[in-house]
Amino acid sequence: MSIFVEIDHIDKVFPLANGGKYIALKNIDLKIRQGEFVSLIGHSGCGKSTLLNIVAGLETPTQGGVVLEGRQVSQPGPDRMVVFQNYSLLPWLTVRENIALGVDKVLQHLPKGERRGIIEHHIDLVGLRHAADKKPKELSGGMKQRVSIARALSLRPKVLLLDEPFGALDALTRGNLQERLMQICQENQVTCLMVTHDVDEALLLSDRIVMLTNGPEAHIGQILEVPIPRPRHRLEVVNHPSYYGLRNEMIYFLNQQKRAKRRQAQPQVAVARNGLEKVNLDIGFIPLTDCAPLVVAKEKGFFQKYGLEAVNLCRESSWKTVADGVVNRRLDAAQMVAGMPLALTMGAGKHVPSPIVTALVLSRNGNAITLSKSFADHGVTTLEDLRAYLHQTTDRTHTLGMVHSTSMHNLLLRYWLAAGGIDPDRDVDLKVIPPPQMISNLKGGNIDGYCVGEPWNSRAVQQGLGMVIATDLEIWSGHPEKVLGVREDWVNQYPQTHLALVKALIEACEFCDHQYNREEVLELLARPEYVGVDPAYLRPGFVDPYQYHSEAEAKPVPRFNQFYVDHSTCPGRAEGLWMLTQMARWGLTPFPKNWLEVIERTRRIDLYGEAARQLGLPDAEPDPRPFALFDGVMFDPNDPLGYLKRLAISREVVVQEIDLDAGLSVAA
């Protein structure tokens, strides 16, 4: 069925009396098919009615727009009729006259007899023949609402907009009217968008339920498909196998939003200098090519530009020391592997949950899978070759290194192996090794290969120790690699300092992605206090073409190291959710039943957006649409558990609710 209504990346911003702005809606993107019934739910103040009014043409979006049948909505029109909660009938007119008022105005081009027929048809449609000559004061609440619905439908609108149409009615009247509306919409293929607080009403009437997060910056948190066949009857709906599961999911979403609202009160903070609460920072990093934004921000003065007077970049020995440094407050912030903030927030590995915020992706791509040269000597050049070789050599253990259990190195390596029919826990042995120690372990025969960032793959190739069998561009091009990780309580204590830090690093990311800056960046990285290696090892993929093995011709690899282009710095929620599925897939963490709360609390699009707006940059999150990695298996952000069930090789997935504040988890 084709797209009928397109709500295209809508923002709605209201000016405040103090000169500030209130962002009510942020990046609302929704497509509605003809004849579909879609409901909007969420707590009061989340912008449901505002969004409905924008579709109606009663409000103008600040950004984005609404397209109906290929034409942009710019004002109210009879092709979109609204049914309000308060009926809005003219008290001095009868039922027939209230309906006729709109028909005679909008459909005046039709003969009078045809207009009269339309009026009488809609009186019968809502079952009000016996009350056609009565005035509103003689009608019950349910009858008044039926007049409103008949009046709206009589104009033959393309879309029926319903703003809590049954909220003021008693339960029996509401139930009868819901059944009648459902029947009318089904028989006439009416496209409907409804605002409601009633989860049972949404389930009864809807094909899809769109759940909005709290404001400010309310956005679509989750979309539920309602797989209950039509025509529907209330008792059959309640007895449908999926009914209570869907109902519980909606209530669970609303409860998560209730908890989030309680956390929104910000403490008062003291300002030190430059409008910031803290101006001296210790930031951890690992000596890899993609620490470039941190190095550039320090050496090119971006930190100082935004008031951060003294930033000490602390070279760490492993990702474990990075995590410990941030959690234990030795470090103010750190470069982290992409999955680390999520894992720390959930308390992975039986640790106490320590909420970590990431409002910035520092780099994308930049990894490769390197195998010992002995694999090439046995004819292994592809994933299929590797699978065959492993099955031929079951008499020995093949060990592969990766840098951290929650890193993209581990998650992508596991995904790549499993997609090729190799069980990463049974067919090979995976071992955590700090990046700078990969070469020595490969040379010493302790491991047979590894997945790591540069320069450690190119170094193995140039020293004749190994070959690159795949880069992450061939597995998931554009994946998040390193992020800025900061404790949530630190952000709350130093909000302006954090904002300055994010702005400085966004500018540094932009500097790193200009090709004419790469030679200068490379020289900075090669310094002993940063990566500290021969610049020749840093060049492949960063400046020069990439060499997969010593005897191969180097290949151009555009965006092997990606820092800024294509909205790279934005910490998208969908990609964070994919990481949660993979950590659960391999038993590294449970899959959080409250996954939306985990994602919203960790990957802070709101903080990123504020920094981006202050820099005059786009602040919208990439669309959370289904996507696939190299094997073509689609990941739907609205159905993460369904995605996990479709993956052939995995461990048993445990679903738990994670108490992010108390450090306790309760089995679901």
Domain spans of the chain, in order of start: 3-262, 280-364+480-544+559-667, 367-476
Q: What is the pLDDT of residues 35-71, one digit of tens each?
A: 999 999 999 889 999 999 999 999 999 999 999 998 9
- pLDDT beyond 90 at 5: yes
Q: How confident is the model at residue 156 (pLDDT cuts 50, 70, 90)?
A: confident
Residue 539 tokens, joined: 């060049």
Listed range (184-193, 473-482, 556-565, 644-653) with the worst mean pLDDT? 184-193
Q: How confident is the model at residue 275 (pLDDT cuts 50, 70, 90)?
A: confident
- pLDDT at position 668 is 39
- pLDDT at position 19 is 83
Those residues with Cβ within 8 angstroms of residue 563's Cβ, 6 or more apart along the chain or in another chain:
290, 292, 293, 362, 363, 364, 509, 510, 512, 513, 569
- pLDDT at position 666 is 39
Contact between 584 and 414 under an 8 Å Cβ cutoff? The reply is no
Q: How confident is the model at residue 183 (pLDDT cuts 50, 70, 90)?
A: confident
The domain covering 3-262 belongs, at the CATH homologous superfamily level, to P-loop containing nucleotide triphosphate hydrolases (3.40.50.300)
Q: What is the mean pLDDT of residues 405-424?
A: 96
Q: How confident is the model at residue 269 (pLDDT cuts 50, 70, 90)?
A: low
CA angle, residues 512, 513, 518, in degrees to nearest 5: 60
- pLDDT beyond 50 at 128: yes
Query: What global pTM score does this model have?
Result: 0.86
Q: What is the pLDDT of residues 309-344, one digit of tens each?
A: 999 999 998 899 999 999 999 999 999 999 999 999
223-227 contacts at long range (C-beta below 8 A, 24 or more positions apart) = 223/638, 224/249, 224/250, 224/638, 225/638
CATH of domain 367-476: 3.40.190.10
- pLDDT at position 664 is 36
- pLDDT beyond 70 at 272: no
- pLDDT at position 667 is 38
Residue with tokens 């910000």: 266
CA atoms within 13 Å, Cβ hemisphere of 418: 20
- Among the listed residues 206, 219, 132, the one whose alpha carbon sits nearest the alpha carbon of residue 599: 219
User: Is the model more confident about 661 or about 384?
Assistant: 384
- pLDDT at position 2 is 75
**Residue 461 CB neighbour total at 10 angstroms:** 24
Listed range (217-221, 582-586, 597-601, 660-664) with the worst mean pLDDT? 660-664
- pLDDT beyond 70 at 560: yes
Q: How confident is the model at residue 99 (pLDDT cuts 50, 70, 90)?
A: confident
SS3 annotation, 256-292? HHHHHHHCCCCCCCCCCECCECCCEEEEEECCCHHHH
Residue 8 tokens, joined: 């295209």
- pLDDT at position 403 is 92
* Percent of the chain at pLDDT exceeding 70: 97
Q: What is the mean pLDDT of residues 281-298?
A: 96
Listed range (257-266, 327-336, 437-446) with the worst mean pLDDT? 257-266
- pLDDT at position 662 is 57
Contact between 140 and 89 under an 8 Å Cβ cutoff? The reply is no
Residue 489 tokens, joined: 């309580």
- pLDDT beyond 50 at 148: yes
C-alpha span between 66 and 59 (Å, rounded):
11
Q: What is the mean pLDDT of residues 395-410?
A: 93
Listed range (178-187, 247-256, 466-475, 574-583) with the worst mean pLDDT? 178-187
Q: What is the mean pLDDT of residues 248-265?
A: 83
Judge: domain 280-364+480-544+559-667, CATH 3.40.50.10490. no
Q: Do domains 280-364+480-544+559-667 and 367-476 have the same CATH topology?
A: yes
In the beta sheet, which residues pair with residue 484? 335
Helix (H) or strand (E) holding 173: helix 171-188
- pLDDT at position 270 is 63
Those residues with Cβ within 8 angstroms of residue 19's Cβ, 6 or more apart along the chain or in another chain:
none
C-alpha span between 420 and 397 (Å, rounded):
18
Q: What is the mean pLDDT of residues 280-305?
A: 96
Can you list the positions of beta strands (E) in 80-219?
Answer: 80-83, 159-163, 191-195, 208-212
Listed range (207-216, 228-237, 464-473, 513-522) with the worst mean pLDDT? 228-237
Q: What is the pLDDT of residues 599-616, one digit of tens each?
A: 999 999 999 999 999 999
- pLDDT beyond 60 at 663: no
- pLDDT beyond 90 at 650: yes
User: Mean pLDDT score of the chain, rounded to an integer?
Assistant: 90
Distances (CA, A) of 410 to 198, 226, 406, 416, 481: 43, 36, 7, 10, 11
C-alpha span between 360 and 355 (Å, rounded):
16
